[in-house]
Amino acid sequence: MCGLLGLICPTENAAQQARSAVAEALHCQRHRGPDEAATWQGGEVVFGFNRLSIIDLEHSHQPLLWGPPGEEGRYALAFNGEIYNYIELRAELIEKYGAQFNTDGDGEVIVVAFHYMGAAAVSRLRGMFAFMIWDSQRKVVFGARDPFGIKPLYYAVGQGGLAMSSEKKSVLELAPTLGVEPKLDRRALQHYLILQYVPEPESLNTHVRRLESGTSFTYSPGGELVTERYFVPRFRPRAMHGPADATKLHADIADALRDSVAKHMRADVTVGSFLSGGIDSTAIAALAKEHNPDLIAFTTGFERAGYSEVDVAAESAAAIGVKHVVRTVTAAEMMESLPLIVWYLDDPVADPALVPLWFIAREARKHVKVVLSGEGADELFGGYTIYREPLSLAAFEKVPGSLRGIMGKVSTRIPEGVRGKDLLRRGALTLEQRYYGNARIFRDDQLRQVLRTYSPAVTHADATAKPYRESAGWDPVSRMQHVDLFTWLRGDILVKADKVTMANSLELRVPFLDNEVFRVASQVPLEQKLTRETTKYGLRQALREIIPGHVLNRRKLGFPVPIRHWLREDMHGWAVDIVRQSQTDHLIDKQAVLAIIEEHRAGVLDHSRRIWALLVFMIWHGIFTEGRIRPEIPEPQYPVKL
């Protein structure tokens, strides 16, 4: 787990002159890899790297140079992530091709596999990754991002070449070298206010984009960036003909997850685990305990009743026999820390859960260097309660389209907050119209009230149309899962997981988001995902012998943060001050925002998520556009090395 930065210039002379600029741009992502920092220049390419040493600690330095006999140093690699099947892949490369290795690390396996297998090597990698390989003989850069988008890769292209990095901040610092002038992307802003995150491949700055998950690229100096999708997830439920088939499915799920956790435990440093009150993280911690008897589990929570899973997590920790560390977060800490966290995010993400996650990551880094977590289980196995919506709206599907249109118009006349209004409104819509992920922040009518730059042409369909086309003919739940893999998972869940842990120089691994686990999960039929009583039914059955009984059938709580209450109490004045001081009048109707804050405080309606989204954006704007807010960025210093 590290931070990479690459600059591919039109000429070798330009690359030589840009090396100092790359070294400076590398510094702002030092938190991603405080153990080592290095730059390398060869031909038209400059690579920079910040290393967080996890595997082969004394070697595997990057940028890594490799070549077959007689072509030593032909390739240069910059790689962020972990390849969990590197041991097996290394053995295969030696046996099949007689490959020679200079290190015991996982990064070298990538470049060696690329030499012998070409672009097809990417599909053989089981892990999380973003990498760039410079082939000095062919004068071309090849790179890729992992199938689910666990690790980020930002880029910008200009007359000065191509810049790619794990952090957008580094790309922005190289903008003058590239000859581009990134500005706020108003289209991306509207997407953010709809979704609570900026969907890939956008960023909130023009010219700066993200390589999409499951995508590879090639680029030659002075040429065009060419991308190709190498992984498209497909849900193909297997037929079930009786109890024996169900038992076999549950065994396959358990075996795949156990194998994934075993490989995710590969490290030359100490590995811990995050632990909430749900089945996903509990299963990961229980399986990790099989490989590390001294496993430490980390939980965060709040003092407010109904907003903490600490007690359940403590009971789970005791049941599976792991040491338990708890970090309680207060409203004051959230307010104080938010500007710094937004700086680390690069782009705003209006998920309040990322703030307590930042605190528990900071606590965990005092004890370990790597943690496992349960992200991805809900998307793969059908864990969100909203996936039941097609069942509750099934009756509406039989209503003729013209009548459903009338229903939709009727819903607009029902006052906000009246029971049944939203059900009627959503029942009048098709699946493609109504479902665009777990977070639905501003509707069109609400956007018109606050966004001065509102455009009716910018909708959630910009992010969901392609996944819906790819999933045509699937059952509604599988289609919702497919949409989430390309929107909610990679736009919110994985962004906050990567950014706030790496802010604390902590590597986070997600065993559910594994090639083999997905292969099994993609075969789970609808009746094994959802029942009238529960979600993730098949996964729960697979985990019966792995996790404690008190967690197995517990209702999903998610990761609730009490901002609804705090924005009426402790955070009210703080929120008002952020709005009043913000220099976003040309973008946001601040008086309308203040009115929403007061309406929320009075208890008329719950506007907490919308208010939070606006506050996070205004803080982001204050940092990256106005330069008015300047968080003090701490130097990465930690008491624990292993």
Catalytic residue selected from 1, 2, 257, 361? 2
State the SS3 of 499-567: HHHHCCCCEEECCCCCHHHHHHHCCCCHHHCECCCCECHHHHHHCCCCCCHHHHCCCCCCCCCCHHHHC
Tell me whether residue 351 is annotated as binding.
no
Side-chain half-sphere of 611: how many Cα atoms within 13 Å?
28
Contact between 190 and 214 under an 8 Å Cβ cutoff? The reply is no
- State the pairing for strand pair 507-509/370-372: parallel
Strand locations in 239-369 (E): 271-274, 296-301, 323-328
* CA pair distance 526, 536, nearest whole angstrom: 10
* CA pair distance 205, 174, nearest whole angstrom: 14
Q: Residue 140's CB: how many other CB atoms inside 10 A?
A: 16
Tell me whether residue 585 is annotated as binding.
no
Tell me whether residue 56 is annotated as binding.
no
Strand partners, 508: 371
First to last CA, the chain: 14
* CA pair distance 55, 471, nearest whole angstrom: 39
Instruction: Determine the residue type at 56.
Output: D
State the SS3 of 209-238: EECCCCEEEEECCCCCCEEEECCCCCCCCC
Catalytic (active site) residue 2: yes
The full DSSP string for 95-163 is: HHH----S-SSSHHHHHHHHHHHGGGGGGG--EEEEEEEEETTTTEEEEEE-TT--S--EEEEETTEEE
List residues forming the annotated binding site for ATP.
373-374
**Catalytic positions:** 2
**Binding site members:** 106, 373-374
Q: Mark the binding-site residues for L-glutamine, compressed into ranges.
A: 106
